[in-house]
Amino acid sequence: MAGEKEIIIRTEGLTKKYGEKTAVDHLNLSIFQGEIFGLLGPNGAGKTTITLMLTGLTEPTEGVAYIGGKDCTRDTMEVKKTVGYMPDNVGFYPDMSGRANLRFTAALNGLDKKMAEERIEELLYRVGLAEAGDQKVGTYSRGMRQRLGVADVLMKDPKVIIMDEPTLGIDPEGMRELMLLIRELAQKEKRTILISSHQLYQVQQICDRVGLFVDGRLVACGTIEDLAEQTREDSRCLTEVCVEPADARFMEILRGLDGVYSVGREGRRYMVGFGSDISNKVAEAILHEGYTLISIRPCGNDLDEIYRRYFEKAGHDDGSSGRKVKRFISRNR
């Protein structure tokens, strides 16, 4: 289905070097209209450098990037007309109200005053800040500032929105509201959204596809399901089963099922390895033997686990890079 969509963002051999360091290494990437795409990786992986090149804030050493068919380096002003950029720490004037900050943005973009006022009212309502629009931004919480940041980006009605760590430092409720808003922008309005982040769990909830970065290189790209399948060893699967009561007898029952090659236990959680899907057999055995099924779910499809497997595949099992990705994954658990 994605292949039928129009490509909005495209890079070809995009590379950025700072002296001897290669921050982005020959990136080839296509992002489609109406898609939410996540650039994922630990700090220093090259995500921010990519967004800077896409927005024309830094020039590539090699290669080219296009947004809407326009060269991001040669046609910077044209690209900026259709792209909204939201940095990780949106800069507003703290002594001005949210409404006044949006007016300032409207003036910078040359919007007609009457049109600007109408849009400001609409956007403040849309991002849930209608009642706080006249408060000084210095009194806003982090989540409120991020939502005002979305309103600020939408002032010029961009077709493409690039967000750098949009959920960083937001409380759970604020994060939920922001996620719903981002999803609405893509699904209902067909805006293309590129999210750069190291917060895997949040990105997994919202992105249509993700790109995994290791040391400036795109090591994998696709849906969560595709990436999980690509890294799964041979045809073996792993499922977590929780039952009550949890006892040694249930382990023997699991071991006796055809197709099971391993069984592990931690409390009432059993990890069952098998060669083909036997979820129905497990459920039947639980009921037949008088156990109560609490939960049953496949394992290995979480982004942190997928990223770890790709990181190891890229040859970073040891050394400082390995420690960096462990810190990256542990922050998301």
Is the domain of 197 the same as that of 274?
A: no
User: Rounded to two decimals, what is the model's pTM?
Assistant: 0.74
If pLDDT is split at 50, 70 and 90, which confidence band does 4 have? Answer: low
- Across 138-152, 198-212, 315-329, the highest mean pLDDT is recorded for 138-152
Residue 332 lies inside a defined structural domain of this protein: no
Instruction: Please give the distance of CA 175 from its chain centroid, rounded to a whole number.
Output: 13
Is the domain of 75 the same as that of 99?
A: yes
Instruction: Please give the distance of CA 119 from its chain centroid, rounded to a whole number.
Output: 28
Q: Mean pLDDT over residues 52-63, rounded? A: 94
Residue 170 lies inside a defined structural domain of this protein: yes
End of a domain among 181, 199, 223?
223
* Range of the structural domain that residue 289 is part of: 233-298
Is the domain of 153 the same as that of 6?
A: yes
Residue 322 lies inside a defined structural domain of this protein: no
Residue 315 lies inside a defined structural domain of this protein: no
Q: What is the CATH number of the domain that holds 251?
A: 3.30.70.100
Is the domain of 114 the same as that of 261?
A: no
pLDDT value, residue 27: 96
Is the domain of 238 the same as that of 201?
A: no
Residues 291, 309: Cα–Cα separation, whole Å: 34
pLDDT value, residue 266: 75
Residue 114 lies inside a defined structural domain of this protein: yes
Summarize pLDDT for 227-278 with one digit per residue, the tens.
Answer: 777 765 544 567 788 888 888 898 888 888 888 877 888 777 888 877 666 7
Is the domain of 83 the same as that of 194?
A: yes
Residue 251 lies inside a defined structural domain of this protein: yes
Is the domain of 203 the same as that of 125?
A: yes
pLDDT value, residue 293: 86
If pLDDT is split at 50, 70 and 90, which confidence band does 167 have? Answer: confident
Q: In what order do the strands lie in the sheet with 292-298?
A: 260-266, 269-274, 237-244, 292-298
Q: Is 3 exposed, middle or buried, given 0-12, 13-18 or 19+ CB atoms closer than 10 A? A: exposed
Q: What is the CATH number of the domain that holds 12?
A: 3.40.50.300
Handedness of CA 44, 50, 51, 55 (dihedral sign): positive
Is the domain of 241 the same as that of 204?
A: no
Residue 262 lies inside a defined structural domain of this protein: yes
Q: Mean pLDDT over residues 173-179, rounded? A: 82
Is the domain of 68 the same as that of 151?
A: yes
End of a domain among 223, 252, 275?
223
Is the domain of 263 the same as that of 121?
A: no
